[in-house]
A and B are shown apart, each in its own frame.
Chain A
Amino acid sequence: MKIKQLTSRALLHSVLLTFAVVWLTPTLGLLVTSFRAPPDILGSGWWTVYTNLFDMNQYTLHNYIQVINKQGLGRSFINSLFISVPATLISTFLAALAAFALAWMRFAYRKFLFLMVVGLMVVPLQMTFIPILPVYRWLGLSGTFPGIWLAHTGYGLPLLTYLLHNFISGLPKDLFDSAAIDGASPFNIFNRIVIPLSIPAIASVFIFQFLWIWNDLLVALIYLGGKPAVAPVTLSVANLVTNRGQNWELLTAAAFVSMALPMTVFFCLQRHFVRGILAGAMKG
């Protein structure tokens, strides 16, 4: 009995260990490779560094300097911020307004509108490219930051509204009743009651949307075209893969630059990050 228990414990740990190793190794390989000099990268596998792990001479920052300055990744990083931050702010704010209205205000077709939001959540965004692109060209929006803010806002709204609606519709009814008796306008209720009480939910949704936009490639590819001046990091890395596919020192460093911010957010704000994602899938 004892032996049987021990073997099953050992089996449990080894299964979990295997998963952890398999999931961690790829990222580790990228990280190590990005700090090695090009001849080393091609001369031996990145895992061989373990033979003299603490020999600092084998590591170099040169790849990073190269991609940030010469390959324009520094520029792209700023672009990514300039795309993600406003787009996230706009879409989260609008989603909060819509969620409040759909949850607590009474108007015609409210239910129908909400069902439309639920239905739109899963529509692939590819569907919209062909109708929207000519309009964008006509309005001069393609290849501009406002254009991509608008696109991300549109694509994000259904899910964000749905997520915030789940939270806001759960706020106690008495709150709204007493505010209405005191003569508060809907905007006042939204501003003074809904927003302060929903901060945790809004924070989670904000982080979720921010990372989604930061990591997006397709929307940027379609609406920004190939212009390096406005390209976000994901697009620059993708271009690098196409043009310099064998220059591993550039690819790995560039990929890591694109991953640095999401990984920081993940480690510092893990609780919000997980909660944001859970809120979306757990309801129901």
Chain B
Amino acid sequence: MLTALKNNALWTVAFTLCTLCFGLILSVLLDRVPYEKVAKAIMFLPAAVSMVGASVIWKLIYAYRPIDVAQIGILNALVVAAGGEPAGWLIQRPWVNNLALITVGIWIWTGFCMVILSAAYKNIPKDLLDAARIDGANEWRVFWQVSMPLLAPTLVVLATTMVVQVLKVFDIVFIMTNGAFGTEVIANRMYKEMFIFFNYGRASAIAMVLLLLISPVMIFNIRRFTRQDGNGQ
């Protein structure tokens, strides 16, 4: 169970940071190119695919075969082409395999963050950005001092959404490693307690831990809603 908690913590940090950062970078950069629509479709496509489908896709990417036969996983093929030894991406604990699983999650959710941040970014009045540019601010400063503060509320909402997703993550781990080699997460542990060990008491305890971890987000949402309802309508 401690492994599961540690892994969920790793998921929370790495997954949330990467999805938000990638989403932010993409939404700002894509606003400046003519092929925005196509690129967005490509980035967003994984959101339509099931976690099960995504897991099979990535299992193939991570496929491991000994060095003396042809590699069929593209990641190991790249490693071998660069002169390295093929690695068991889903086996090497504790960092490599967990990060390999988190990558799948990032692949699925980055497009979602991008679409939402992009909508928020396009809502920023262009005059505001231009005014800053005329005042002599370079793009870097415009981004940090004008765009970022205006995107902050959206980022906070997205961050909570991502944290909720992390606490519920199940499918990816279930399909790719089934929690072996120290990759277990809370939801998988609970499933095992229920259906492998038939230990409903322990499973309930895990469910309570999950609820406890998620309750701050719940309270945050309710408070945000009441505040917005109070001065909005």
Which residues of A line the B interface, CB within 8 A? Answer: 12-13, 15-16, 19-20, 23-27, 29-30, 33, 41-47, 115, 118-119, 121-127, 129-130, 169, 211, 214-218, 221, 234, 237-238, 241-242, 248, 251-252, 254-256, 258-259, 262-263, 265-267, 270, 273-274, 277-278, 281-282, 284
Contact = CB atoms under 8 A, between A and B. Distances in A.
A73 to B, nearest CB: 12
Interface in B36-58: 39, 41-53, 55-58
B39 A255 contact: no
Contacts of A30: 53, 56-57, 60
B56 A252 contact: yes
B69 to A, nearest CB: 8
Contacts of A214: 50
Contacts of B73: 45
B57 A12 contact: no
B190 to A, nearest CB: 6
B5 interface: no
Interface stretch (B92-100, B111-119, B126-134, B142-150): B111-119
Contact of A125 (B45, B59, B168, B222): B168
A44 B109 CA distance: 31
A29 B194 contact: no
6 contacts: A16-B30, A30-B53, A115-B222, A126-B207, A126-B210, A263-B45
A278 B168 contact: no
B217 interface: yes
Interface of B: 22, 25-26, 29-30, 32-33, 39, 41-53, 55-61, 63, 70-74, 77, 107, 110-112, 115-116, 119-120, 153-154, 157-158, 160-161, 164, 167-168, 170-171, 174-175, 178, 187, 190-191, 194, 200, 203-204, 207, 210-211, 214, 217-218, 221-222, 224-226, 228, 233
Contacts of A129: 194, 203, 207
Contacts of B221: 118-119, 121-122
A4 to B, nearest CB: 11
A26 B57 contact: yes
Contact of B51 (A215, A265, A278, A282): A215
Given A47-B74, A217-B174, A284 B48 contact: no
